[in-house]
Amino acid sequence: MDANTFIPEHFIDDVKTYLPAHLDIDDFINACRRPLRKSIRVNTLKISVTEFKQYAKQKNWLLTPIPWCEEGFWLERPAAEEQNLALGNTDLHLSGAMYVQEASSMLPPIALKQSIEHTNYVLDMASAPGSKTSQLAALMNNQGVLVANELSSSRLKVLSATLKRMGVGNCALSHFDGVIFGNYMFECFDSILLDAPCSGEGTVRKDADALKNWSIDSNIEIAQVQKDLIKSAFYALKPGGTLVYSTCTLTPLENQHVCDFLLSEFGDCIIPESLSDLFPGASKATTPEGYLHVWPQTFDSEGFFIAKFKKQASSDNPNLKVKKGAFPFQQFESKKSAVFMQTLKQQFGLNTLPGILMQRDKELWLFPQEFEAVQNKIKYARLGIQLGAIHNNGVRLAHEFATAFGKQCKSNVLPLTDTQANDYFQGKDIRLADVSQNTGEVILTLCGCPIGLGKWQKNKVKNSLPRDLVQNTQLITWAQSN
């Protein structure tokens, strides 16, 4: 029990007004004071669940499957020396093999899963730090186009770093208030996730001060933002498309009432789809409308709310807008493209890249194949993957090339030991046991996952990790964790 968890009386009084009859307020309060179980999601863009389990076994990690997410596990680390070591410093995290993600936070992308599997254009309207964006990209298997938007610039940077670490290749990042999408990207998306900014009442097990400034007035204020965002999401969705609305808060003001607003505005064009069969046991959290209202005691998780809607018909938007200004990229010359692809084949045994090579000044980028239809609708903060820098004699490859495509490379791949990986993440060159005759660039891997690029230099590999990704951390090594 965490006696420091702050739960204000007036919050409890409010919860009593909407707690479902089959739940007990004391169970709720006790659950809020219990520490949260640790959970992770395996990043299948970099490693299979089977491979991950093998690594976890070597570390004596105990995994319990999360019933709604095939890639999700609750995790216990019994080794005494690991108790105070952050999961974020483990090799499996730093390599992008896993993402530390709360179990209930895996639900919204799972609610979109069916729709994503058959569609090309997906919008994540409020996406930092990127737990659900990277989950969506993995569900899309890096295919199609995933637009990830975030309003806060500091959080956008974190999002960008997350996507690089996780090897996401089909993403375009944007930096706007989400309300613009309905006007600028009217009916562009097959699937939309609106994981809305909220009062965070469900996060109190992780953050003892989450309810410190709680008030109904702030619930009402945030609900207005949520209504503006869900309206924008409705307009941005194609007829036939699917919208998932989620929050990590409990109050109906920010949940059911926001859904009521959507239906009152556009009820002729959009209908809820029940989530009662999303996974075995989902009915325990299903509301009469078919939404999931996950209480902390229901699945021993954080509190969450998830609603799913199907858009059945179009509704005119009187405020359509068109972006001004030219698109700053052009297709990479076909002759140079052929030379570049030949180099990748010779150096790494890589035969194809999934997308279109584009050039902006001296930068070489790879855009998702389907990007053209949406590329000039808004100004993006980043598009696809930066493959490298173009110079007179060819292309100097960039870090992201390795994290996104290293898995497909067949030659010039160097698996690092934990000591070498430590040096790499700290920005140091990597010492080799023997002098190597290899030349040029090399893909570095950890736990079987590509983590970046280096350059062969006889008895060492020169470190090419971008400065902003250099960490001042000590990786938890196999020796320490076994």
Ligand X SMILES: C[S@@+](CC[C@H](N)C(=O)[O-])C[C@H]1O[C@@H](n2cnc3c(N)ncnc32)[C@H](O)[C@@H]1O
Q: Which helix (H) or strand (E) holds 166?
A: none
Closest CB to ligand X among 119 and 133? 133
415 known member of a binding site: no
Annotated binding-site residue? 26? no
Contact call for residue 155 and ligand X (CB under 6 A): yes
Instruction: State the Cα torsion 235-238-241-243 to the nearest 10°.
Output: -20
Q: Minimum Å distance from CB 248 to ligand X?
A: 6
* Whole-Å CA distances, 463 to 395, 419, 440, 452: 18, 14, 12, 9
Question: Of 58, 60, 141, 152, which lies in the binding site for ligand X, with binding defined by CB under 6 A?
Answer: 152
Contact 317, 183 (CB under 8 A): yes
- Map residue 112 onto helix, strand or coil: helix
How many chain residues touch ligand X (CB under 6 A)?
A: 18
Q: Please tell me whether 384 is known to bind a ligand.
A: no
Examine residue 132 and tell whether it contacts ligand X (CB under 6 A): yes
Q: Is residue 129 part of an annotated ligand binding site?
A: yes
By beta-carbon proximity to ligand X, the closer residue of 125 and 476 is: 125
Rank residues 43 and 149 by Cβ distance to ligand X and give the closer one.
149
Judge whether 127 is annotated as a binding position. yes
Q: Does residue number 131 form part of the binding site for ligand X (CB under 6 A)?
A: yes
Per-residue mark of binding to ligand X, 175-214 (x: CB under 6 A): --xx----------------x-x-----------------
Which region, judged by CB under 6 A, interacts with ligand X, from 125-133, 164-172, 361-369, 420-428? 125-133
In the complex, least distance from residue 198 CB atom to ligand X, rounded to whole angstroms: 6
Distance CA 190, CA 195 (A): 16
Q: Which one among 14, 71, 91, 150 touches ligand X, defined by CB under 6 A? A: 150
130 is in an annotated binding site: yes
Nearest to 75 by CA among 104, 51, 39: 39
Q: Is it true that the peptide bond before 8 is cis, omega within 30 degrees of 0?
A: no
Comparing CB distances to ligand X, the nearer of 36 and 350 is 36
- Minimum Å gap between C-beta 479 and ligand X is 33
> Secondary structure of 286-318 in the HEC alphabet?
ECCCCCEEECCCCCCCCCEEEEEEEECCCCCCC
Tell whether 81 is in a known binding site: no
Type of residue numbered 98: M
Q: Which is nearer to ligand X, 157 or 360 (CB)?
A: 157
Q: Which of 32, 69, 171, 248 is catalytic?
A: 248
User: Which of 96, 130, 241, 272 is the binder for ligand X (CB under 6 A)?
Assistant: 130
Count the neighbouring beta carbons within 10 Å of the beta carbon of residue 474: 12
DSSP letter assigned to residue 91: H
CB–CB of 336/394 below 8 Å? no
Q: Name the minimum Å distance from CB 155 to ligand X.
A: 5
Q: How far is the CB of 266 from ligand X (least distance, A)?
A: 20
In terms of Cβ atoms closer than 10 Å to its own Cβ (0-12, 13-18, 19+), residue 267 is exposed
Q: In whole angstroms, how close is the CB of 399 to ligand X at the nearest point? A: 22
Q: Which residues have C-beta within 8 Å of that of residue 300, sequence separation ≥ 6?
A: 31, 34, 37
248 is catalytic: yes
Q: Which of 42, 116, 122, 128 binds ligand X (CB under 6 A)?
A: 128
Q: Which is nearer to ligand X, 79 or 161 (CB)?
A: 161
Nearest partner of 112 among 153, 146, 157, judged by Cα: 146
314 is in an annotated binding site: no
Q: Based on the shown chain and the rule CB under 6 A, indicate whether residue 224 belongs to the binding site for ligand X.
A: no
Token representation of residue 21: 């009859």
Which of 51/207 has CB closer to ligand X? 207
The CA distances from residue 235 to 109, 114, 246, 319, 347, in Å, are: 20, 21, 18, 10, 46
- Please tell me whether 177 is known to bind a ligand: yes
Which part of the chain contacts ligand X (CB under 6 A), choosing from 19-27, 34-42, 70-78, 149-157? 149-157
User: DSSP character for 90?
Assistant: B
Q: How far is the CB of 42 from ligand X (least distance, A)?
A: 16
Smallest separation, CB 108 to ligand X (Å): 8
| Closest CB to ligand X: residue number | 126
Cα–Cα separations (whole angstroms), residue 338 to 330, 333, 335: 16, 9, 5
Q: Using DSSP bridges, classify how beta strands 189-195 and 121-124 pair: parallel, antiparallel or unpaired.
A: parallel
Binding piece for ligand X, criterion CB under 6 A, among 72-80, 120-128, 320-328, 338-346: 120-128
The yes or no reply on residue 127 touching ligand X (CB under 6 A) is: yes
Mark 82-111 with x for binding to ligand X (rule: CB under 6 A) and - for no binding.
Answer: -----------------------x------
Long-range contacts of residues 390-393, Cβ cutoff 8 Å, at least 24 apart:
390/336, 390/359, 390/362, 390/363, 390/364, 391/362
Q: State yes or no: 195 annotated in a binding site.
A: yes
Q: Is 397 helix (H, G, I), strand (E, B) or coil?
A: strand
Nearer to ligand X, 150 or 400 (CB): 150
Q: Residues 6 or more apart from 265 whose CB is under 8 A from it?
A: 231, 234
Residues contributing to the annotated binding site for S-adenosyl-L-methionine: 126-132, 150, 177, 195
Residues contributing to the annotated binding site: 126-132, 150, 177, 195
> Which residue ranges make up the site for ligand X (CB under 6 A)?
105, 126-132, 149-152, 155, 177-178, 195, 197, 225
Active site residues: 248
